[in-house]
Each structure stands twice: as structure tokens, then as C-alpha cells.
Amino acid sequence: MSEHERAAWHSNPWGMAAIDISGRVSAVNPVFEYSTKLSATQLIGLSEADFDHILSDLPFTDRSRINVTDGSIRAIHYVRCQECTERDHTLSRIAEVLREPLASIYGFAELLLTQHYDEQTRQDLTVMLLGQAEVMANLINEQLENRTLWSRASDNRLPEDHE
Amino acid sequence: MKKIMIVDDQPIIRKMILLALQDEHFVLTEACDADSAYQLMLKDKPDGIVLDVMMPGQLNGFQLCERIKQSPELSGIHVVLVTACGQIADQEFGRALGADAYFVKPFSPVALAMHMKEALLKEST
């Protein structure tokens, strides 16, 4: 497995299990272990039939099997648990909330760097940039304290204007 | 002169886009929500619109984009969606509604300005 494939395997938001050409489970990624509450040690070496039997008893929101025609892997099973789906949704919402002030920081910084403004405008933009950095710092601190950001994320609301 | 409308509920984002698009070729107008943007564009048809997706009000950016592209009078408006929704599915949804471009926040305002120049000024030359 290349570095890139290894990274994709470990960071994939789907639970993944590989079936080798002999028809046995040869590898599972961390999300698969988390989703099934079964360890790699319990799963690796199982026949695909036994493995399927175990999976059929577990509640997944999504499940699929993709045939692989390359190398020593015959197929990959993908699973998705409800908890992972909900967690990903919340993380996605948090990303959206944080992108708002980040958009201003990124944008004003780029404009200051690439455009010619008079001194007063430069100062005004710098003040706005600093203000948005403070907004972002506050959001992160709120998140670390497990407060408003999570509720904003789950309420599907964005922060009020911060000027 | 080409008319561009900037629609975002956050004044600071509107200010940033306004600064990036300030150009002798463009006349810029602003709206703070999709509902007022729609009313404004019926009167003063812009050539392009930079449209936030998530906004308060009856219409969000996706819905306004769909309304623009389905209107015989407005469908020629070049619609650029700018949004904090970074998922591929959101981008595909925006394009399916007829958006001409999709910028995910944080985005480069310089790249946005270049895009608008290419889209609006090229066709007039």
C-alpha cells in the first residue's frame, strides 16, 4: 500500500474492510472498528460468509460491497453507522460556521497584499481583519468549551454579523 | 458598464466582494437577503450576481438561483454562488440549479473578480 493509499484508508470517513483473494478479511480501517465495535483482531481472517453474517446483524445507515480487480484484494466492504453520519453532519456544520469569518480574513488579507489602497483604507481593512480574527478565536474558544458553536451547528444557523 | 449585484447577509463579506469588484467596468449594487435582491433585480436587471447561499428570509441563495434561471427575463444573469457549504453535493446541487460558478468560503476575492471580468466583459468585446 502506498503512502497515499494508506492515508486514504486511515482517514476515510467510511468504515472499510478488505477481502483478499482467498475470500478472507485481510484489513479493516479504524472507522470500521468504530462503526462495528469490533476490533481488527476479531475481524481479520474471517471468511467473507462469516463476516457478512456478522455485518447483517449490525444497524448501518449505508452498506455496500465493491469488487476490486487489482492485486491481492478481491473486494472492499463499506459501512456507515448512524453515529458517524450524525457526527459528520455536525462537523460539516461547524466547518461552515468557521468558514464565514475565515472568508473575511482570507479575503481582506489577499486584497491588502495585492491591491493598492490609501493609508486610511489599509488601516480600516486591517481593523476589520483583526475583528474577524477575534470572531474566529471566540468561535473556537466557544467550541472548546463545548457551547454555542455546537448549538449553532445543530440549529443550522450562522453567527450574526460581527462588525 | 456591467451591473453586478452582491447579495450576502453579512455586511463584511459584501464589503470584501465590493472592494474586489471595484472597477471602472462595473456598477455594483448590494442586497442583504435574497428576497430584497429578487425585488431589486426585477427593476434593475444586473448582468451578474454574486449570491450567498445561506441567508435569512423566505428565499435562500439556492432558491433565488433557481428562480433566476427559470425566469425568461432573468435567466441570462451570470450567477456566482458563494457559500460556506463546501460539500461536493452542495456544489453539484448549485450547478444543477443553473449556477454558472460556485466559490466556497474562504475564497480568493481576486479570483472572483477575475472570474466576473472574464464572464461579463469577454462577452461584450
Q: How many interface pairs between A and B have CB atoms less than 8 angstroms apart?
A: 68
The reply to whether residue B106 touches residue A103, judged by beta carbons under 8 angstroms, is yes
Q: Which of A36, A1, A45 is nearest to A15 (CA)?
A: A36
Instruction: Please tell me the distance from the alpha carbon of residue A87 to that of residue A82, in angstroms, as a whole number.
Output: 9
For the record, the C-alpha cell of B26 comes out as 462595473
Last residue in a domain, options A81, A104, A131: A81
With 60 as the cut, is the pLDDT of residue A147 above it? no
Angle between helical axes of A119-144 and B11-21 (0-180°, round to 10):
140
- At A11, which CATH number? 3.30.450.20
The verdict on residue A22 lying in a domain is yes
A46 assigned to some structural domain: yes
Is A162 a domain residue?
no
Among B12, B85, B108, B110, the residue to mutate for chain A (most A Cβ within 10 A):
B12
Integer Cα distance of B92 and B102 in angstroms: 9
Residues A72 and A96 in one domain: no
Buried b (16+ CB within 10 A) or exposed e, B61-82: bbbbbbbbbeeeebeebbbbbb
pLDDT, position A51? 92
Q: Are residues A16 and A74 in the same domain?
A: yes
Instruction: Give me the tens of pLDDT residue by residue for chain B, a chain 125 residues long.
Output: 999 999 999 999 999 999 999 988 899 999 999 999 999 999 999 999 999 998 888 899 999 999 999 999 999 999 999 988 877 778 888 889 999 999 999 999 999 999 999 999 876 55
CB-closest option in B17, B20, B54 to A158: B54
The confidence score (pLDDT) of residue A119 equals 96
Q: Which residues of B touch A111 (CB under 8 A)?
A: 16, 19-20, 109-110
pLDDT, one tens digit per residue, over B27-51 is: 999 999 999 999 999 999 999 999 9
Evaluate whether residue A117 is within a structural domain.
Answer: yes
> Could you give the dihedral angle defined by the CA atoms of residues A38, A40, A43 and A44, in that order, rounded to the nearest 10 degrees?
180
Domain stop point among A61, A81, A101? A81
- Note down the domain range covering A69: 3-81
Residue A73 and residue A94 in one domain: no
Query: CB B105 to CB A163 under 8 A?
Result: no
In a domain, A160, yes or no: no
One domain, residues A107 and A46: no
**Closest to B3 (Cα-Cα) out of B48, B41, B37:** B48
Residue A116 lies in a domain: yes
Superfamily of domain B2-121: Response regulator (3.40.50.2300)
**How many independent structural domains does chain A possess?**
2
Which residue among A45, A62, A81 closes a domain?
A: A81
Residue A125: count other Cβ atoms within 10 Å of its Cβ.
Answer: 21
Q: Is residue A66 part of a domain?
A: yes
Indicate whether A50 belongs to any domain.
yes
Surface of A (92-151) touching B: CB under 8 A: 92, 95-97, 99-100, 102-108, 110-111, 114-115, 125, 128, 132
- How far apart, in Å, are the Cα atoms of A71 and each of A19, A48, A94, A140, B66? 11, 18, 39, 44, 46
> Are B12 and A96 an interchain contact pair (Cβ–Cβ within 8 Å)?
no
Cell of residue A49, nine digits: 460468509
Same domain, A44 and A104: no
Do A75 and A90 lie in one domain? The reply is no
Residues of A whose CB is below 8 A from B15: 128
Report how far Cα A58 is from the mean position of its chain's Cα atoms: 23
Task: Identify the three-state secondary structure at position B80.
Answer: strand
